[in-house]
């Protein structure tokens, strides 16, 4: 019979410990919730990605050129290691959407006559493929942003001519899981889209009949990506090819992979906190229970219960925690998982994104939780098992207190007798105090960990706007223009300063290492695009030589005075060996900077600019912006500060939910730790406290004696938690690909404040909860009871 | 020390054989030494002892004379430093932990000075703790009836007086139909009147069920209720006497 006397004992004791068991179950459940939600989202995204890439033949190598005769496709196909090749026409267009002050930026891609490309197939969600010259298929996110449906029309400026296209279908593409405008830092579905149309029509519009400017290919199994890319680059070089891109560097894929990597790390890091705290709390409660029950354990042994039976009995408590904790955790995890995955789904577009709760995931969550709880129980239960039956006939010796070092320093005069009692309790169990503090610190660090990403991003933007990119608007041209344009723009009413920039694709080599990079030509003086060295000093653009971002320098192993080989990947494709004269500290990108003159000499022309930075009268920004956009050669006018603000606005609701969840989870841990400690303190010291009440101490005074401990634990936990959060954020960042981003971890004072306030609130709430029972302390009953 | 043990065994071989025949529980040359830092405490210093089938035995001695130590070893709660222990023909001296557990589980009933009831279980459930794991137990209700507590089955220990708690403890001890009932100061924590009540119960159990019973006490008048009295002092047996007549518990005075 399962409800034998021993199990009844467990059940009854569970009932008296219900508050403690509940709080531990909540902490355990929180760990499972995080694990299921984060890991489940990770696994679901990863599975969707693999399936999507496979079924829609996401290419392995991508390349662009200016105008390549179609006949070259066969030579690309003949390269050893190439499985299939798809050529197309890919052009930038703008979409002057009505009601939008800025035309949206679009990428127009051709579809082969069959409509089914051999690489990068599209997934039609609605409608059909284009059948006429004036039909397009539109990327879903953009269509959703404007409520566009098949049959609607969109205006598109194609090669300078405004046309109206009928939307034939709405689609997704493995190339644009995350659709981001080149040069932008975040996606903006209202201002960026991708369109597909028939190849013949697009080719005609850009005079590319019988030619292509974009090629992608799939590799044969076991082929060397490096040698295929080298072969492809060689073939395309005469036609303006500026270097192929591997799948891992394809922008959408890179961002999705990065996000997945981070999610993968987070999905183990975050649950680890809960798992650790669960183990600690189980140990705390069970250890206390077993110490209290020494005579009962001895009796059970004396009347013939075996060590195994007694061990199992106390481990039963673990299952009382584990069962509701797991059920709660799985249910919560499933809910949160759906929510998180849906959030990802709005940014990362996959054909079918389903939260996949696998048996393996559930088993891992439950087994890891069980192992943690059992590990926490282990030490306590072992002491029960080891208890020699005869020795335990005597009741445990009264707790031994000593005068601590602190006391001997003579602080007793300062903190009084009740302070002394608090201090003695802590010095008597320093390890428990430390572990409790550590658990609370873990909760604090979770809050920081859940916020530092956005903090760092904002800090990066603000720092960049303050130091390096001081323009109000950046004007981007479809192709490089003559430097005279800068002066023209400077004369536009409202423009205060205009400075031209030139970006040239290059490949930089040093020793055996090489990277594709962009060489930026800066004007003199450069007041809007500045270079800033490590620690903040402005670095002057040298008349001779180049300045590199520190990341690029590190990757290539370059030092000041070295002369790397720089190959220009357009025009005459000259190669030079400029001297490295300095490094700048930029978080994003691997750029090379030189004076515009240096770049012009390198290109063998009189100079050109690919974008112009403007300082604008703040009152006339909108006017200037609108006027600039009317020029057909200008493809985009971007306002980085506005972009950042829009990105933040778009993510507010997401961030609010995220904040609420992280607060709830962290507060649960703090509550659990403080509550359990206070309860145990109360159980152990009810007698002392009742005696003090009899002696005339007030409720407030005895509350302080009991809860002073917890107050100190929290006080100790706060600095440790803040530090831990920061250290964790750093550790987390170091797992992120250092080549693409080199974030400085920045934690806003707001985040620190939030963590502290949440902790204090949760601690105060649980302390008050325990204090209620202190207020109703039945003096007579307590003094009469055994303990 | 090994040699000494061999000698002791050789010398007392006839005594061993005698013990095997007549005694249900016996020990020979028992020593128990506690190391307390620098000093050795000789709790038992060469004790020969036997408990015979069906008898009511009182183990008398001042506090600290080694009574509990002896009882713990006889009951399989502890192991001796030296000497041998027998349960019937079975030797317990070097028994492994699980053998001792099985011995306690099936053959020994314990009654402790402080009752040692599980506070979260009712009287019935405290007895069920034993009947759950014993081979051919009494019903908990029957056992509690034997100690006169048939009316208090569902009361928790805190709802019972000390004497009632001790009677529940006795019910728990006898519910497994033990071969031996070992009681360590069962009246030690009780007032005189309640103590008598508890002794009456033990006396009746011994007469009705025939369970060999050893009762520890430092309270000399209780010895009158025994078949045999063994006196301990300083870890040695001072003397053994047999009472011609066994006094009724209710006639005792102290
Ligand atoms: N676990 C122990 N550790 C050390 N000394 C002990 C231990 N148990 C008993 N003793 C000592 O052994 C002696 C006999 O103790 P005990 O058998 O409890 O005596 P009694 O039950 O007759 O009062 C005493 O001196 C006691 O201090
Ligand atoms: Mg004793």
pLDDT digits (tens, 9 = 90+) for A227-261: 999 999 999 989 988 789 999 989 899 889 988 98
Q: What share of chain A is helix, strand, coil (3-state, %, to 5)?
A: 55, 20, 25
Per-residue model confidence (pLDDT) at position A613: 92
- CA A319 to centroid of chain Cα atoms: 34
E strands, A393-482, in order: 473-481
Q: Burial, A172: exposed, middle or buried (Cβ in 10 Å; 0-12, 13-18, 19+)?
A: buried
Q: CB B105 to CB A390 under 8 A? A: no
Provide the shortest C-alpha distance from residue A786 to chain B (in Å).
10
Q: B112 and chain A: CB distance < 8 Å anywhere? A: yes
Nearest to A305 among B68, B125, B133 (CB): B133
Query: What are the C-alpha distances in Å from A181 to residues A87, A212, A503?
Result: 22, 22, 17
A703, two tokens: 């509350």
Q: Are A289 and A314 in contact (CB under 8 A)?
A: yes
Place A396 in a pLDDT band, splitting at 50, 70 and 90: very low
In a domain, B228, yes or no: yes
Q: Are B90 and B101 in contact (CB under 8 A)?
A: no
Provide the shortest C-alpha distance from residue B161 to chain A (in Å).
14
In a domain, B161, yes or no: yes
Per-residue model confidence (pLDDT) at position A330: 95
CA–centroid distance, residue B134 to ligand 2 (Å): 27
Judged against a pLDDT cut of 70, whether residue A406 lies above it is answered with no
> Number of folded domains in chain B?
1
A to B CB pairs, distance under 8 Å: 84
Most A CBs within 10 A among B129, B134, B136, hence the mutation to make, goes to B129
B233 alpha carbon, closest ligand? 1
Judged against a pLDDT cut of 80, whether residue A9 lies above it is answered with yes
In this structure, which residue's CA is closest to atom 8 in ligand 1? B69
In this structure, which residue's CA is closest to atom 21 in ligand 1? B68
- CA A392 to centroid of chain Cα atoms: 54
In a domain, B46, yes or no: no
Average pLDDT of span A91-109: 83
- Residues A339 and A331: their CA atoms lie apart, in Å, by 13
CA–centroid distance, residue B137 to ligand 2 (Å): 29
Average pLDDT of span A108-131: 94
Judged against a pLDDT cut of 90, whether residue A214 lies above it is answered with yes
| Distance in angstroms between the alpha carbons of the first and the last residue of chain B | 44
Residue-level length of chain A = 787
DSSP chain B: -HHHHHHHHHHTHHHHHHHHHHEEEEEEEEEEEEEETTEEEEEEEEEEEEEETT-EEEEE--TTSSHHHHHHHHTTSS--SEEEEEETTEE-TT--HHHHHHHHHHHEEEE-TT----TTS-HHHHHHHHHTT-SSPPPHHHHHHHTT-GGGTT--GGGS-HHHHHHHHHHHHHTT--SEEEEESTTTTS-HHHHHHHHHHHHHHHHHH--EEEEEES-GGGGGG-SEEEEEETTEEEEEEE-SSPPPGGG---
Residue of B nearest to A16 (CA): B120
Per-residue model confidence (pLDDT) at position B20: 40
The boundaries of the domain holding residue B130 are 4-12+53-78+108-251
Judged against a pLDDT cut of 90, whether residue A68 lies above it is answered with yes
Question: What angle do helix axes A18-34 and A307-347 make, rounded to 10 degrees?
Answer: 40
Residue keyed to tokens 């030509």: A521
Per-residue model confidence (pLDDT) at position B17: 39
Candidate from B66, B188, B234 with most ligand 1 atoms within 8 A of CB, to mutate: B66
In this structure, which residue's CA is closest to atom 18 in ligand 1? B68
Per-residue model confidence (pLDDT) at position B19: 40
- Low-confidence winner among A463-477, A772-786, B2-16 (lowest mean pLDDT): B2-16
Place B60 in a pLDDT band, splitting at 50, 70 and 90: very high
Q: Are A105 and A184 in contact (CB under 8 A)?
A: no
Q: Is A767 helix (H, G, I), strand (E, B) or coil?
A: helix
Judged against a pLDDT cut of 70, whether residue A715 lies above it is answered with yes
- Residues A548 and A560: their CA atoms lie apart, in Å, by 10
Contact residues, chain A, for B109 at CB < 8 Å: 303
In a domain, B204, yes or no: yes
- Residues A735 and A257: their CA atoms lie apart, in Å, by 13
- Which residues are placed with Cβ below 5 angstroms of ligand 2, an ion? B 68
B34 alpha carbon, closest ligand? 1
Q: Are B160 and B152 in contact (CB under 8 A)?
A: yes
CA–centroid distance, residue B97 to ligand 2 (Å): 23
Judged against a pLDDT cut of 70, whether residue B248 lies above it is answered with yes
In a domain, B66, yes or no: yes
Per-residue model confidence (pLDDT) at position A739: 65
In a domain, B140, yes or no: yes
For A336-391, how does the pLDDT look when each residue is reduced to its tens digit (9 = 90+)? 999 999 988 988 999 988 998 899 999 999 999 999 999 999 988 998 888 888 76
Per-residue model confidence (pLDDT) at position A781: 66
B69 lines ligand 1 (CB under 6 A): yes
Closest ligand 1 atom number to CA of residue B62? 22
Mean pLDDT of chain A: 87
In a domain, B213, yes or no: yes
Q: B180 and chain A: CB distance < 8 Å anywhere? A: no
- CA A567 to centroid of chain Cα atoms: 35
Q: Are B231 and B244 in contact (CB under 8 A)?
A: no
Judged against a pLDDT cut of 70, whether residue A740 lies above it is answered with no
Average pLDDT of span A112-137: 94
Q: B115 and chain A: CB distance < 8 Å anywhere? A: no
Per-residue model confidence (pLDDT) at position A111: 95
Residue of A nearest to B175 (CA): A303
B238 lines ligand 1 (CB under 6 A): no
Nearest to A390 among B77, B121, B126 (CB): B77
Q: What is the pTM of this model?
A: 0.81
Per-residue model confidence (pLDDT) at position A87: 96
B65 alpha carbon, closest ligand? 1
Residue keyed to tokens 């508050």: A19
Q: Are A212 and A85 in contact (CB under 8 A)?
A: no
For B77-93, how does the pLDDT look when each residue is reduced to its tens digit (9 = 90+)? 889 999 999 999 899 99
Closest ligand 1 atom number to CA of residue B232? 22
B74 lines ligand 1 (CB under 6 A): no
Please give the share of chain B, as a percent, with pLDDT higher than 70.
92
Nearest to A296 among B97, B110, B118 (CB): B118
In this structure, which residue's CA is closest to atom 3 in ligand 1? B34
Average pLDDT of span A152-175: 94
Per-residue model confidence (pLDDT) at position A622: 84
Provide the shortest C-alpha distance from residue B172 to chain A (in Å).
9
For A304-348, how does the pLDDT look when each residue is reduced to its tens digit (9 = 90+)? 999 999 999 999 989 999 999 999 999 999 999 999 999 889 889
CATH number at residue B124: 3.40.50.300
Per-residue model confidence (pLDDT) at position A785: 56
Q: CB A5 to CB B101 under 8 A? A: no
For B198-235, how does the pLDDT look when each residue is reduced to its tens digit (9 = 90+)? 999 999 999 988 999 999 998 899 999 999 999 999 99
For A545-562, how does the pLDDT look when each residue is reduced to its tens digit (9 = 90+)? 899 998 889 888 999 999
Q: Are B234 and B63 in contact (CB under 8 A)?
A: no
B34, two tokens: 């506690």
In a domain, B190, yes or no: yes
């Amino acid at each position: 019979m399962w409800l034998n006397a021993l199990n009844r004992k467990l059940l009854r004791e569970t009932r008296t410990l219900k508050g403690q068991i509940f709080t531990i179950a909540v902490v355990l459940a929180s760990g499972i919730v995080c694990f299921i939600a984060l890991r489940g989202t990770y696994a679901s995204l990863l599975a969707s990605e693999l399936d999507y890439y496979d079924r829609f033949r996401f290419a392995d190598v991508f390349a662009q050129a200016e105008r390549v005769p179609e006949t070259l496709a066969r030579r690309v196909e003949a390269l050893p290691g190439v499985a299939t090749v798809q050529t197309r026409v890919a052009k930038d267009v703008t979409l002057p959407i009505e009601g939008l002050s800025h035309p949206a930026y679009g990428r127009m891609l051709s579809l082969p006559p069959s409509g089914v490309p051999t690489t990068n197939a599209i997934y039609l969600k609605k409608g059909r493929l284009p059948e006429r010259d004036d039909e397009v298929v539109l990327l879903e996110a953009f269509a959703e942003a404007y409520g566009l449906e098949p049959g609607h029309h969109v205006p598109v400026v194609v090669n300078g001519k405004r046309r109206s296209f009928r939307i034939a279908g709405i689609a997704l593409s493995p190339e644009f899981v995350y659709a981001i405008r080149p040069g932008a830092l975040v996606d903006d579905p209202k201002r960026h889209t991708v369109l597909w149309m028939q190849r013949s029509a697009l080719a005609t519009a850009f005079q590319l009949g019988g030619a292509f400017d974009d090629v992608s290919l799939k590799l044969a199994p076991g082929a060397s990506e490096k040698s295929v890319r080298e072969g492809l680059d060689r073939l395309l070089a005469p036609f303006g090819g500026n270097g192929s891109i591997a799948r891992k560097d394809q922008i959408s894929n890179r961002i999705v992979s990065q996000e997945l990597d981070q999610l993968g790390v987070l999905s183990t890091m975050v649950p680890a906190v809960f798992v650790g705290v669960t183990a600690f709390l189980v140990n705390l409660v069970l250890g206390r229970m077993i110490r209290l029950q020494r005579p009962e354990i001895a009796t059970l042994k004396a009347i013939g219960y075996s060590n195994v039976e007694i061990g199992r009995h106390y481990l039963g408590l673990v299952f009382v925690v584990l069962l509701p904790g797991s059920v709660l955790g799985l249910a919560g995890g499933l809910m949160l998982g759906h929510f998180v995955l849906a959030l990802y789904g709005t940014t990362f577009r996959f054909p079918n994104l389903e939260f996949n709760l696998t048996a393996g995931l559930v088993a891992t969550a439950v087994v890891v939780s069980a192992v943690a709880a059992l590990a926490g129980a282990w030490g306590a239960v072992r002491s029960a098992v080891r208890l020699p039956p005869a020795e335990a006939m005597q009741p445990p010796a009264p707790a031994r207190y000593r005068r601590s070092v602190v006391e001997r320093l003579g602080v007793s005069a300062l903190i009084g007798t009740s302070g002394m009692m608090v201090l003695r309790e802590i010095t008597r169990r320093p390890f428990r105090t430390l572990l409790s503090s550590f658990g609370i610190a873990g909760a604090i660090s979770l809050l920081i960990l859940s916020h530092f990403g956005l903090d760092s991003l904002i800090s990066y933007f603000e720092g960049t706007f303050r130091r390096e990119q001081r323009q109000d608007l950046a004007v981007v041209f479809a192709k490089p223009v003559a430097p005279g344009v800068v002066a023209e723009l400077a004369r536009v009413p409202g423009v205060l300063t205009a400075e031209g920039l030139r970006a040239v694709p290059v490949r930089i080599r040093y020793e055996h290492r090489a990277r594709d990079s962009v060489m930026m030509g800066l004007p003199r003086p450069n007041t809007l695009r500045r270079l800033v060295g490590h620690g903040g000093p402005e670095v002057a653009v040298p008349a001779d030589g180049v300045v590199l971002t520190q990341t690029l320098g590190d990757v290539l192993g370059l030092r000041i005075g070295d002369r790397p080989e720089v190959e220009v990947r357009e025009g005459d494709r000259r190669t030079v060996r400029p001297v490295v004269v300095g490094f700048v500290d930029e978080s994003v990108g691997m750029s090379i900077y030189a004076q515009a003159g240096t770049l012009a000499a390198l290109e063998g022309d009189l100079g050109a600019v690919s974008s112009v930075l403007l300082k604008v009268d703040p009152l006339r920004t909108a006017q200037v912006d609108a006027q600039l956009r009317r020029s057909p050669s200008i493809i985009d006018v971007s306002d980085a500060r506005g972009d950042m603000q829009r990105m933040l606005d778009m993510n507010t609701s997401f961030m609010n939910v995220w904040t609420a969840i992280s607060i709830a989870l962290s507060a649960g841990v703090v509550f659990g730790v403080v509550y359990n400690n206070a309860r145990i303190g109360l159980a152990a010291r009810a007698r002392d406290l009742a005696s003090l009440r009899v002696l005339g101490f007030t409720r407030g005074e005895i509350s302080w004696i009991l809860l002073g401990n917890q107050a100190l634990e929290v006080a100790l936990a706060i600095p440790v938690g803040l530090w831990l959060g920061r250290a964790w954020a750093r550790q987390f960042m170091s797992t992120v690909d250092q080549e693409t981003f080199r974030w400085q971890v920045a934690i806003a004072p707001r985040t620190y404040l939030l963590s502290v306030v949440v902790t204090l609130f949760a601690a105060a709430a649980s302390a008050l909860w325990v204090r209620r029972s202190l207020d109703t302390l039945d003096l007579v009953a307590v003094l009469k009871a055994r303990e | 020390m090994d040699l000494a043990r061999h000698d002791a065994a050789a010398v007392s071989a006839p005594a061993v054989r005698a013990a095997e025949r007549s005694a249900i529980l016996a020990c020979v040359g028992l020593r128990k030494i506690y190391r307390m830092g620098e000093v050795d405490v000789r709790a038992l210093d060469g004790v020969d002892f036997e408990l015979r089938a069906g008898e009511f035995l009182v183990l008398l001695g001042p506090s600290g004379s080694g009574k509990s130590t002896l009882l713990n070893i006889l009951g399989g709660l502890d192991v001796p430093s030296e000497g041998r222990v027998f349960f019937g023909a079975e030797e317990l001296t070097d028994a492994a932990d699980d053998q001792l557990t099985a011995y306690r589980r099936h053959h020994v009933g314990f009654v402790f000075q402080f009752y040692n009831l599980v506070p979260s279980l009712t009287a019935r459930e405290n007895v069920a703790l034993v009947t759950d794991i014993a081979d051919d137990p009494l019903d908990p209700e029957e056992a509690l009836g034997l100690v006169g507590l048939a009316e208090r089955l569902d009361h928790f220990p805190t709802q019972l007086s000390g004497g009632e708690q001790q009677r529940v403890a006795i019910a728990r001890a006898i519910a497994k139909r033990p071969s031996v009932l070992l009681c360590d100061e069962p009246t030690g924590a009780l007032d005189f009147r309640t103590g008598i009540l508890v002794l009456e119960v033990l006396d009746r159990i011994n007469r009705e069920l025939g369970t060999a019973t050893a009762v520890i006490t430092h309270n000399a008048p209780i010895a009158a209720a025994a078949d045999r009295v063994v006196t301990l002092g300083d870890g040695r047996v001072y003397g053994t006497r047999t009472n011609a007549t066994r006094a009724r518990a209710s006639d005792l005075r102290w």
